[in-house]
Amino acid sequence: MPGRTLPTFTTAEVKSHNTAKSCYVTIGRNVYDVTDFLDSHPGGSDLVLEYAGKDIADILKDEASHTHSETAYEVLDESLVGFLASSNGTANGTANGQANGAANGKSTGVDHANGNGVSAHPRTGMSCEEDLSKETDFSDDYKKHKFLDLNKPLFLQVWNGGFSKEFYLDQVHRPRHYKGGESAPLFGNFLEPLSKTPWWVIPIAWGPPVAYGLHLANEGFSSTFVQFALFCLGVFIWTLLEYALHRFLFHLDYYLPDNRVGITLHFLLHGIHHYLPMDKYRLVMPPTLFVVLAAPFWKLAHTLFWWDWSIATTIYCGGIFGYICYDLTHYFLHHQNLPLWYKELKKYHLAHHFLDYELGFGVTSRFWDDIFGTELPSVVKTK
């Protein structure tokens, strides 16, 4: 920002900007207005507001949280609004001062793969979760990649795009971020609302049927403990099913038919989530799609346990409860600040997006990744 004249602020003035309506932070003497970034922060706005009006140099370097990439500092570069006044009332800095150097000596020009110890995907160059939420310039992105124009409905662009499978897979796994916290248009018509699902719809839609199913099935048990054990078995079966569906259906990827039918179905089922991973309304499964996927498993459960309806129903309800936990966990991993154990899971799942989508298929846990050898090796647990 050469040549730009920026104002100075007193420490008290910066501290007064500590709300969601006006959120300032500092690094050294640089003052940043990050209000517009609150809703886009991968850890949730609360995590940013915790440091509103304060210096964030230490938290940006805190590996117990996560190491921030240069993308975080690029966001700050764009949010520079002034400088802290020194004791003599002057700004200790220049308009084109180091927006990131004060925090940890990084430069926004650092290459992800320059041997500095930062793990990065060799194709996308992504190295941490901030990369997922860097706002995409729609026009530049379309001119550069000739893939999808985020200004227009996506469905027909995928259907009519004539993309090869190789090109499609390369592009759909390069995350974009839709500006303003809104959802990109998928259909652009009366079908649009059916493609969006707030997270709270999941427990409201499926919690009561699970409770009712367990109530009906309870009549077939002489012991509540036995029913509870079978319910837990259903939850455990779900964890394996979650892993299998994510790995072999959602990431069918290179086994896709190389035609627009296969590519479009992939995009609707899971591709759009990898393309726009921070879209709040396409993080959980729409009820209409869940019914289609869940119905065959109802039939399967009652076929396998044909001799006892109560056993089959209880195990099935356990599976549906496991799904509810999965979808809520998935949403919170993308958009909420979480307790320590979940922070580890959050880093693990987001690395599946920004580091290597061909590994790390567990969402509610990494148990089956460990069992089947698909764990993300570069994601190290916090000591």
Count the neighbouring beta carbons within 10 Å of the beta carbon of residue 69. 23
User: Does 112 carry a binding-site annotation?
Assistant: no
Contacts of 30 (CB under 8 A, 6+ apart): 76, 80, 83, 84, 93, 97, 98, 99, 102
274 annotated as ligand-binding: yes
Bridge partners of 24, per DSSP, are 33
In residues, how long is the chain?
383
Q: Does 334 carry a binding-site annotation?
A: yes
Flag whether 273 is marked binding: yes
Amino acid at 178: Y
Q: Is 334 exposed, middle or buried (0-12, 13-18, 19+ CB in 10 A)?
A: buried
Helix (H) or strand (E) holding 9: strand 8-9
270 is in an annotated binding site: yes
Q: What are phi and psi of 333, to 5 degrees?
A: -65, -30
Residue 352 among known ligand-binding residues: yes
Annotated binding residue 353: yes
CA-nearest of 79, 88, 87, 97 to 28 is 97
95, with CB counted inside 10 A (0-12, 13-18, 19+), is middle
Query: Would you say 251 is a known binding-site residue?
Result: yes
Binding-site residue numbers are 41, 68, 246, 251, 270, 273-274, 330, 334, 349, 352-353
Binding-site residue numbers for Zn(2+) are 246, 251, 270, 273-274, 330, 334, 349, 352-353
Binding-site residue numbers for heme are 41, 68
